[in-house]
Structure 1
Amino acid sequence: MSGTGTFGFTVHPRARLREDLARAWRPLGLVPESVYDAALRRLPLPPVTMAGVQIGGERVGHIVLVPFGARHLLSDIEGGRRRVSRAVDRAAALGADVVGLGALTATVTAGGATLRGRSDIGVTNGNAFTAAIVEDQIRMLLPHVSARATRAHIAIVGASGSVGTAVTKLLARDPAEARLTLIARTAPRLEALAASVAGDVDVTVALSIDAVRDADLVVLLTASADTILGPDHLAPGAVVLDATQPRNTSPALATARPDVLVVDGGIVSIPSLRLSGGEIGLPDGRSYACFAETAILALTGHRGHFSIGNPTLDQIDHIRDLAVELAHLGFHAAAPTSFGAPVVLERRATVIA
C-alpha cells in the first residue's frame, strides 16, 4: 500500500464517559462519572491522539479523541464545533491526508459543512459508505423479517438526516418488496424527501417514533445521546437495525423483548484492521462504516473533501467501486451481530393481515 495516503478519524466519549475514556487510557476508568462530566464541560482540554491504525500490516492512520461527550456536543453546538476543529488540526499535524468525522462530530459540524473551507486536509463525514452498508444490511435482513402484510413494512427513523435521506433514495432506486414509513421530527424536509421518491416506492411519513409500532423492520439512523427505542414501541417479532453512534438501543431491550432481534448496523469487516494504544468499542477486524469510508479514501489516494452534508448517489456508487478495489482487505458488511454477539439469521414467521 505504499504511495497511498494516511487518515485521521475523530471520535468522542459516548453516553458513559468513564467507560469510553478508559478505552483511551485504562486508569481513566477509575475516575467518577460526575468528575468527567464537569471537566469536559468546563476545561479547554486538547484533543488526544488515542490510537494508531494498521491495515494490511501497515500504519495508515490515527484515532483522535475529541474531549467532549455526546450530550455536551448536542447541548453546546458551537463549543463542539471548536473542539472538533481542533481535533482536525491534530489530524493534519499528524500528516493525515483526509479526516473522517465519527459519530456526533459529524452532526455538530453539519455533516462536515463547517469544515468545507479547509484546504490543508480532506474531510468526509463517512455517510456515503454508511448508507451503502446500511442498504446492504436492509436487503440482507428483508428475507428474514416476519411480515404482517403481503409486503414487509420498513420504518426508517431519522429519515431526513444525511444517512437516512441517502438510504431512502437507494431503496427507491432499486425498489425492495416493501413499503416505507419515513420518520423524523420536522415535517418540511421529510415531506420533500417522500415526494421525491413517491413515484418509485410506496411511502408514508410520520413525526413520532410511535409510527414504528407495526413495522417489520425498524432502521435507526437518528442522532441522539440517549436510547430512544423502548420495548413498548415494537411489533411482535420485529427486527431492528441500529446504525446509530451513540446507539439508540440498549441491551435491556433484548431482555425485555426476546421476540425482537436487534442487529448492529453499519459495521464493516476489515480482517487485518488493528488499533494500537486504544479502541473504539469494536473487536479487531471490524469498524464502523464511516471509519471504513475514511480508510478507503486514504488507501486509494483520494485528495480533497468527499462526503460533506448529504452524500449523493454518485458518491455512494463511487465509494462502493473503491471498496471493490480493496476487496482483498475486506471492506464489506460484516457478519451480523447483536450488541456485539454473533447471530444466525433464520426465516421468521410470516403473519398475513
Structure 2
Amino acid sequence: MKQNFRIALMDLSPDAERASFSIELPDAVVQWDRVPVRQNPELIGSLIPELLKEYDSVAMQGISSSFRIAGKTYENEHLRNQLRLDDYGGRFSDGSALLATLERYIVQQAAEQLPFSFKRKSILFFSGLNRYGSAEVLSKYTKKLVFGDLLYGFRLGIPITSFQHLENSAPQLVKAVMQAPASWFWPAARRSKRMMPRFQMYFKRADIIIGGLSYFKRYKPDSLTGKTVFTNLRDDRDLELFRELDVEYVVSLSPKISGIYTPVPVLEAAFKLCGKHSENHEIEDYFLNLIHRMELKPDIFHLRPHEEKEELTALQLPILPENFTPREEVVEVAEDPGDDVARFAFVIHPLVFAQVRRLRSVRAMSHFMPERLIEDTMAQLSGFPCAMMKNVVSKTGARAEGVLYAIPMTSRAIMRFPAEFLYKKLLGVAEVANQKGCRIMGLGAYTSVVGDAGKSVSERSPIGITTGNSYTVASTIRTMEVAAERCNIDMSHSSACVIGATGSIGSVCARLLAEKVERLYLVSPRPERLLALSSLIEKETPRLKGKLQISRNAADFLGMADLIITTTSAVDPVVDVTELRPGCIVCDVARPPDIREEEAARRNDILVIESGEIRLPEGAELKYDIGLPPNTIYACMAETLLLALERRFDHYTIGREIDPQKVKEIQAIGDKHGFELADIRSFGKVVPPEHYEKLRAIVAGRESRSVAG
C-alpha cells in the first residue's frame, strides 16, 4: 500500500501563485501545495516551523543552501543559520542534493535527443554554482561555456569563460555568496522585481541558454531567435514567453510527473520521505534508483520550425617537416602477397618513453635532451613498418598476414597533440599500407581512443578501419565465463557488477552480462549516463527489471557480486579488495589497473584476472615483442586478423558506441577460424590450477550454507 505525504513548496518567484497538486510516485502519493513567499529572508525562518505543523515536509524553490562542485559540498552557513535549517533535519529540502543527479540526467538525455550536435556550441549559464552538474555534462561536448554568476548575481559585468575557471573560482564564489546580502539573490526581493535587460551580448552569442525561469523573465532581451533554452517550467503557459522570444527549443528541467511539472525541491522532499523506508544508506544513490524506476525523461518542445544549417569549421592542420624514420626499426614489406593471402595492417606505438629510448637513434639524444623535447621531435615522424606477422592459416584454411606499423608517439604525446595531428599520421599509414596490399587496418592502444575513436580516420581512409574493441569485449566476457566455469560459479544464478559501466567498454560489457546473470550492479560517477544505460538494459533484457541496481560508489556492491568487471580510467584505484566477497572473480580491464598486485596478494580467497588475449594458430610467426608470451596477441589485433581471414574489408568497430551484435558476430567468426583464449593470467602470470581449486571450495561452501539456510 502506498504512503500519503503532504509537502509545502515555498516558492520565492515574484509571480508565484498559490496552487495544489497531486502526483504519484512508485512508493507514495504526494499532495504538494505551492505557497508564494514574498517576505524578506529574515521572516521565512519563522514560516518554516509553522508549515511543518501542517505538512510532512517543506521545500523551497528560488535559492540554494548548498552547492555541489567537483564532488565537494559547500554549505551556505549564513543562509542555513538565518533560516534555522538544521532544526528540521530531513523535513526541509531546497533541491540541491537531487539537482546534482536529476538535472545532469535530463541535460544528457536532451543533448542526445535534440536534432543537432552540441559540439562547439556556445552555452550561457545564468549561474555555474547552481548548474554545476549540467555544466560538467556539457563540457564534454564544447569548451564554449560562459557562466553569469558575476554578471547576473553580483552585477560586476565579468563573465566566467570556462569550466576550469568555474571549478577554480568556486570556493571564492561560494564565500562571496555567503557574505553578500540575501536580497541580491532572492527572486522575490524588491531588487529583483525590476526588469533589467543587461549583458545582451552574451545572450546574442549563445546558442543554448540554461537557467531558472525568473532569470529569463528579468534579464531577457527582445529576441532569442533560434536559441535553445533549458529552464524550470511551471506549466505550459510558460512556453508562451519563449514563443514570443522566438526560441526554437525549450527543455524543461522540471520533470513531468502525473502530467504535472514537478519542481526539483518538491521531488527531493518526496524522495527523502520515501527514503526513510529504504534500506539504501546513501540517500543520493536512493534518488538515483528512484529516477531509474520512474523512467523520468526530459520534456522537449519545438516551438518554431527552423532550417538546419550545417556548420563548416576549418581545421588547422599541422605542417610536418620532411619525413624520416629510425632505420634500425624498419622492416621490408614485400609487394602484394597475392589473392590467396589477405593482408592487414595494425598500428602500434610506444606506451612510455622508456620504449622510445631503446632506439639507437634516440639513446644518444636522451643523454643531453629532455624527454619532452625528444617526444615532440619523434612525434613529427611518419609511421613505419616494424614487423610482419606471417604464415597465419585458420582451421578453415583461410590465409592472412599482417604488417605492424609503428607511430613513434608515446601515450603522453598522443594525448598532448591535437587529435587531427594523429589522424594525419594514421591516414598516412593507411595510404602506405594500401599500396602494400593491406585491405584493413587496426588501431592499437591510444590510437583507438583519441578523438572520435576512429570515425574521422575511417571517413578518409582508402582501406577498412577497426579499433578492435568488439573482440576485446568478446574476449573479456569469454575469459569471465571460462574463469567462472573453472570455479564452479553458475553465471545464470550469479550476481555481476560492472565498474566504469558507462564507458565504451563497460557499457557493452554490462549489456552482454545482463543476458547471462541473475542480478546486475552498475557503477559510474556519471549519474545521467547510468540512468540511460540501466533503462536500455531493462528494455533489452526485461527479466532484469527489479534486479538491476545502480550506484556512483563501487563500495555499495563489492560485497554482493560474484563477478566483477572493472573498466575505469581512474588515477586512484576504486576497488577496495578488503570489501570483496570471498570467491569473487574480478576481471580488471582498467588502465591503470584498479587492483594492484600487492593488494590482491592480501586476499587469497579471490581471483583477479586480466582481460583475455588470443593464441595465434599453430605455425603463425610474429617475431616482435608486444609485451605478451610467444604466439599470443591482443584481442584488438586478433579482430583485425579475423576480418582479414574473412575478407571483410569494410569498416568494423568504429566510434565510442560498441554494438553488442558485432561483439557476438566477431566472437562467432573467431570460433569459426579456431581462435582460442590464451592462458588466463593474473598480474602477468598464468593462474595455477590450485587457485581455481581453492575458489571452488569457497563457492561450494557458500552454496551448502545457502541450502542449509
| Bin of the TM-score, shorter chain as denominator length | 0.7 to 0.9
TM superposition shift of 1:121: 0.9
Deviation at 1:220, TM superposition (A): 2.5
Q: Is the 8 A contact 1:145 1:216 kept in 2?
A: no
Deviation (angstroms), 1:340? 2.6
3-state SS in 1 of match to 2:449:
helix
What is the CA distance between 1:73 and its match in structure 2?
A: 3.1
Aligned position for 1:107: 449
Give, in angstroms, the shift of residue 292 of structure 1: 0.7
Tell me, yes or no, if structure 1 residue 47 matches structure 2 residue 383. Answer: yes
Matched, 1:184 2:524: yes
Whole-Å separation in 2 of the counterparts to 1:348 and 1:75: 49
Aligned to 1:337: 681
User: Is contact 1:296–1:323 with CA below 8 Å preserved after alignment?
Assistant: yes
SS class of match (1:56): strand
Could you tell me how far apart the structure 2 residues matched to 1:134 and 1:305 are? 22
The counterpart of 1:220, out of the listed 557, 566, 574, is 566
CA contact (8 A) 2:427 2:461 kept: no
Report what 2:142 is aligned to: none
State the secondary structure of the residue aligned to 1:6.
strand
Contact 1:240 1:263 in 2 (8 A): yes
Q: Deviations over 1:146-179 (max 9, x none)?
A: 99xx96432212322332222222222x3323x2
| SS of residue matched to 1:138 | helix
1:62 and 2:398 aligned: no
More off after superposition, 37-46 vs 258-267: 37-46
Residue 412 of structure 2 is matched in structure 1 by 71
> What is the alpha-carbon distance in structure 1 between the residues aligned to residue 630 and residue 685 of structure 2?
14
Cα deviation, 1:223-270, whole Å, max 9, x if unaligned, reads 56x574565575254422123566555433444544442212131122
- Deviation, 1:59, is 6.6
Distance between the aligned counterparts of 2:634 and 2:493, measured in 1? Answer: 30
Distance 2:647 2:370 in 1: 42
Counterpart-to-counterpart distance in 2, 1:159 and 1:318? 22
SS at match of 2:459: coil
Q: What is the identity, as a one-letter code, of the residue corresponding to 1:54?
A: K
Aligned mates of 1:260, 1:90 — CA distance in 2? 48
Tell me the equivalent position of 2:673: 326
2:649 paired residue number:
303
* Residue-by-residue CA offset, 1:129-156 (whole Å, 9 max, x unaligned): 2222222122223356699xx9643221
Match for 2:586 among 223, 240, 245?
240
Paired residues of 2:612 and 2:635 also in contact (CA < 8 A): yes
Letter in 1 for 2:452: A
Percent of pairs identical after alignment?
A: 25
Distance in 2 (CA, whole Å) between partners of 1:111 and 1:323 is: 23
Tell whether the 8 Å contact from 1:52 to 1:61 is kept in structure 2 after alignment.
yes
Q: How does 1:65-214 map to 2 (within 5 A)?
A: 65-76=406-417, 78=419, 79-143=421-485, 152-172=494-514, 174-177=515-518, 179-198=519-538, 199-201=542-544, 202-211=547-556, 213-214=558-559
Taking the aligned partners of 1:102 and 1:218, their CA distance within structure 2 comes to 25
Shift of 1:283: 1.5
Which TM-score applies when normalising by structure 1? 0.81
How far the C-alpha of 1:209 sits from its partner, in A, is 4.6
Deviation, 1:45, is 2.9
Mark the CA change 1:233 to 1:323 in structure 2 (over 3 Å): closer, same or farther. same
Greater C-alpha radius of gyration: 2
Q: CA deviation at 1:87?
A: 4.2
Distance 2:577 2:453 in 1: 32
Give 5+ residue unaligned stretches, structure 1. none
Q: Secondary structure at the match of 2:647?
A: coil
C-alpha separation in 2, matches of 1:183 and 1:105: 27
**100-109 vs 62-71, which moves further:** 62-71
Go from structure 1 to structure 2 and tell me whether the alpha carbon gap of 1:93 and 1:17 turns closer, same or farther (over 3 Å shift): farther
Counterpart position of 2:92: none
Distance 1:167 1:232 in 2: 21
Relative distance call for 1:160 and 1:85 in structure 2 (3 A) is farther
Tell me the residue number matched to 2:597: 251
Aligned CA distance change for structure 1 residues 311 and 236 (closer, same or farther; 3 Å): closer
In structure 2, distance between residues paired with 1:51 and 1:245: 26
User: For the residues of structure 2 that align with 1:223 and 1:85, how far apart are their CA atoms?
Assistant: 27
Structure 2 vs 1, CA of residues 324 and 185 (structure 1 numbering), >3 Å: closer, same or farther? Answer: same
Distance 1:168 1:69, change over 3 A: same
* Structure of greater relative contact order (alpha carbons < 8 Å, 6+ residues apart): 1
Which residue identity lines up with residue 381 of structure 2 in the other structure? Answer: L
1:303: Cα distance to partner? 1.5
Q: Given the superposition, is the C-alpha separation of residues 342 and 29 from structure 1 closer, same or farther in structure 2, using an over 3 Å criterion?
A: farther
Give SS of 2:640's match: helix
For the residues of structure 2 that align with 1:88 and 1:234, how far apart are their CA atoms?
A: 47
Distance (Å, rounded) in 2 between the aligned partners of 1:230 and 1:104: 24
1:269-288 alignment runs, 5 A limit: 269-272=615-618, 273-276=620-623, 278-288=624-634
Q: Check 1:11–1:222 CA distance in 2 against 1; reply closer, same or farther (3 A cut).
A: farther
User: Would you say the 8 A contact 1:98–1:298 is kept in 2?
Assistant: yes
- State the distance in 2 between where 1:97 and 1:110 align: 22
* Match of residue 612 from structure 2: 266
CA-based RMSD of the aligned residues comes to 3.5
Measured in 2, the distance between the counterparts of 1:123 and 1:213 equals 38
CA distance in 1, matches of 2:591, 2:621: 20
Contact persistence 1:130–1:290 (CA under 8 A): yes
Letter in 1 for 2:698: A
Structure 2 residue matching 1:305: 3-state secondary structure: coil
TM-score norm. by structure 2 comes to 0.43
Q: Relative to 1, partners in 2 of residues 1:109 and 1:99: Cα closer, same or farther, differing over 3 Å? A: farther
Partners of 1:73 and 1:211 in 2: how far apart? 36
Q: CA deviation at 1:105?
A: 1.4
Alignment gaps of 5+ in structure 2: 1-337, 394-398
Please report how far the alpha carbon of residue 60 of structure 1 lies from its aligned counterpart in structure 2 after TM superposition. Answer: 0.5
Q: Which residue of 2 aligns with 1:315?
A: 662
Deviates more, 1:42-51 or 1:190-199: 42-51
SS of the aligned residue for 1:283 comes to coil
